[in-house]
């Protein structure tokens, strides 16, 4: 060996060696997606008898209560970890009363899923915006501002009702201050001390919720959610929100949206030892679909890459509209 070659071989590392074949790449892979970590959002509609497709969320529909059991069985067969339930009620009012109706769409769906399968965890989203006539996530004061403290009791009522129907986990997404404490104490005082709370602790006032608001019919009739959801530029404030929810008794923490907030997911993972969930929201899903439809990217590769990135950042639970397809893709790989 000449002196020159010897020196060159010492001056740089050959990373290509372990990338040479699919088998080697699989061997050294640092992040593995598993269908069991995926959560499928489901829109349960009390107003329809047949599924009604949601244009902005390709492959998703508002599901009537009588069909929810079938969908849950499919999710269980695919190996998915959980469903996350949102409800569209028969009627709405200023206080969002229907959120806590024991015969409402979410409690009915929980009972139907329990009957259909015991392999899925059932997570019930807790918020008022699908149930209020004005579309805000809480009740309003005379001046139109959110009445944080009056909202807490309604959220706690709703959580108690979902727990009573058999939800394993309640997931408050309203971003009211003090909601985790209020929900924890309502659950504990109604013998639901074993129902867990997954707090949407760091939920940003994002531009990426549009398709969801169409799907769940919950766009605010006036104003926006910036006075209660986090301001996108702020990460330290998100960590303070997360810490508050831990102190109030959250069992797991969510960051939302996911893809544009990987730094927040990573910071949450580093700081807290509770399970960290991330929500790949409707706009993240729809954007990939829209681009794929134009032939601008490959949907399967882009979807799996986006989910892998969310897991790599530190999320152990990923809520995604790709859940069913992704579980299938992962099985094929
Ligand atoms: C309502 C809620 C929203 C989402 C989940 N729960 C919308 C919002 O806050 O306006 C968004 C989810 C998505 O876009 O997929 N509390
Ligand atoms: Zn809401």
Give the largest CA-CA distance in the chain: 85
203 is catalytic: yes
Residue 311 lies in a domain: no
What atom of ligand 1 comes closest to residue 208's alpha carbon? 14
Residue 282 lies in a domain: no
Q: What is the CATH number of the domain that holds 175?
A: 3.20.20.70
pLDDT, residue 305, reads: 98
Residue 246 lies in a domain: yes
Query: Quick one: which of 102, 117, 112, 97 has its CA closest to 63?
Result: 112
Whole-angstrom Cα distance, residue 250 to residue 158? 17
Q: What share of the chain is helix, strand, coil (3-state, %, to 5)?
A: 45, 20, 35
Query: Quick one: which of 44, 195, 192, 167 has its CA closest to 111?
Result: 167
What does the block give as tokens for 208? Answer: 């990426």
Residue 90 lies in a domain: yes
Whole-angstrom Cα distance, residue 73 to residue 116? 6
What are residue 216's phi and psi, to 5 degrees? -100, 5
pLDDT, residue 10, reads: 74
In sequence order, the β-bridge partners of residue 169 are 123, 196
Span from the CA of 4 to the centroid of ligand 1 (angstroms): 61
Residue 97 lies in a domain: yes
- Residue whose Cα lies nearest atom 11 of ligand 1: it is 209
pLDDT, residue 7, reads: 58
pLDDT, residue 2, reads: 53
92 is catalytic: no
- Tens digits of residue pLDDT in 191-250: 999 999 999 999 999 999 999 999 999 999 999 999 999 999 999 999 999 999 999 999
Residue 56 lies in a domain: yes
- Could you list the mean pLDDT of each consecutive 10-residue stretch along the chain, which spans 333 residues? 58 96 98 98 97 97 98 98 98 97 98 97 98 97 96 98 98 97 98 98 97 94 96 98 98 98 98 98 98 98 98 98 98 86
Cα-only R_g, the chain = 21
Determine if the pTM surpasses 0.85.
Answer: yes
What atom of ligand 1 comes closest to residue 282's alpha carbon? 15
Span from the CA of 255 to the centroid of ligand 1 (angstroms): 12
Ligand closest to 204 (CA) is 1
pLDDT, residue 333, reads: 74
Cis bond upstream, residue 208 (ω within 30): no
In sequence order, the β-bridge partners of residue 44 are 63, 87
Span from the CA of 137 to the centroid of ligand 2 (angstroms): 4
**Which residues, in sequence order, are CB contacts of 221 under 8 Å at separation 6+?**
133, 134, 135
Query: Quick one: which of 325, 193, 326, 310 has its CA closest to 254?
Result: 310
Whole-angstrom Cα distance, residue 258 to residue 281? 7
What DSSP letter does each residue of 25-68 carry, written as one string?
HHHT-S----GGGEEEEEEEETT-SS-EE-TTSTT-EEEEHHHH
Residue 274 lies in a domain: no
- The verdict on the CB of residue 230 being under 6 Å from ligand 1 is no
Residue 210 lies in a domain: yes
The number of folded domains in the chain is 1
The domain in which residue 246 lies consists of 32-254
Whole-angstrom Cα distance, residue 117 to residue 76? 7
């Amino acid at each position: 060996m000449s002196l020159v070659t010897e020196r060159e071989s010492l001056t740089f590392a050959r990373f290509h060696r372990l990338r040479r074949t699919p088998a080697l790449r699989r061997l050294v892979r640092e992040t593995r997606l598993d269908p069991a970590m995926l959560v499928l959002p489901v829109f349960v509609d009390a107003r329809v008898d047949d599924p009604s497709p949601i244009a902005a969320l390709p492959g998703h529909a508002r599901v009537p209560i009588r069909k929810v059991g079938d969908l849950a069985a499919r999710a269980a067969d695919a190996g998915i970890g959980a469903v996350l339930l949102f409800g569209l009620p028969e009627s709405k009012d200023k206080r969002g009363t229907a959120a806590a109706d024991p015969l409402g769409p979410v409690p009915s769906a929980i009972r139907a899923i329990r009957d259909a399968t015991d392999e899925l965890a059932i997570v019930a989203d807790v918020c008022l915006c699908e149930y209020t006539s004005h579309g805000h996530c809480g009740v309003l004061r005379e001046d139109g501002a959110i009445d944080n403290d009056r909202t807490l009791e309604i959220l706690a009522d709703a959580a108690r009702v979902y727990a009573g129907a058999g939800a394993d986990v309640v997931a408050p997404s309203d971003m009211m201050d003090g909601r985790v404490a209020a929900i924890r104490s309502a659950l504990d005082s109604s013998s639901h001390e074993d129902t867990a709370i997954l707090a949407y602790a760091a939920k940003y006032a994002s531009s990426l919720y549009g398709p969801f608001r169409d799907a769940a019919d919950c766009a605010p009739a006036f104003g926006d959610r910036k006075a209660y959801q986090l301001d996108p530029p702020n990460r330290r404030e998100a960590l303070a929100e997360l810490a508050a929810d831990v102190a109030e008794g959250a069992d797991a923490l969510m960051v939302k949206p996911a893809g544009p907030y990987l730094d927040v997911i990573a910071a949450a993972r580093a700081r807290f030892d509770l399970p960290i969930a991330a929500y790949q929201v409707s706009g993240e899903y729809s954007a990939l679909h829209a681009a794929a439809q134009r032939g601008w990217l490959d949907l399967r590769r882009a979807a799996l890459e986006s989910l892998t990135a969310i897991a790599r950042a530190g999320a152990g639970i990923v809520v995604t509209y790709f859940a069913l397809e992704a579980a299938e893709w992962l099985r094929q790989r």
